[in-house]
Amino acid sequence: MSANPWVRPYVLTGGRTRGRRHLLVHTLVSGGGYDAAFAERLLPEARALYERVHAVAESVAELSAHCGVPLGVTRVLLADLAAGDRIEILAEGASPYDPHVLERVIDGLRELA
């Protein structure tokens, strides 16, 4: 009998499906001060995210993909790390795209149609 694939994410998040902060897939995350002793106490998935975010600022989706952690779990773990002031949320809820540029692209596509 194989292990249930949902048990591990459930355990990682303490049964939570949402973090303390709502993180969109394009929310940018960066590391604060790296603490090796703290990193050693983390579960492997949380440690991978913690170490990756200290190497490079990335979006929630990119961190999830690079670390191989499901997106929902990534959101919860990053929100926990941010609540403990271990990482920084750089652009929470903000779109990385300029709305004026998007409007011009849409207008250009309409002209082509």
The 10s digit of each residue's pLDDT in 82-106 is 988 999 988 655 555 667 777 888 8
Q: Rounded to the nearest 5°, which phi and psi values hold at 18?
A: -135, 145
Task: Count each helix (H run) and each strand (E run) in the chain, helices first.
Answer: 6, 3
> Which residues sit opposite 29 in a β-bridge?
58, 89
List, in sequence order, every residue forming a beta bridge with 30; answer none if it has no partner: 88
- E strands, 1-113, are 28-31, 58-59, 87-89
* 49: nearest Cα among 63, 30, 35: 63
Name which of 15, 23, 13 is nearest 53 in CA terms.
23
As a whole number of Å, the end-to-end CA separation of the chain is: 56
Q: H or E element: which one contains 109?
A: helix 99-112
Does residue 32 carry a pLDDT above 60?
yes
Q: Please tell me the total number of residues recorded for the chain in this structure.
A: 113
* Token code pair at residue 92: 């929470």
Which tens digits make up the pLDDT trace of 35-68?
999 999 998 889 999 999 999 889 999 999 999 9
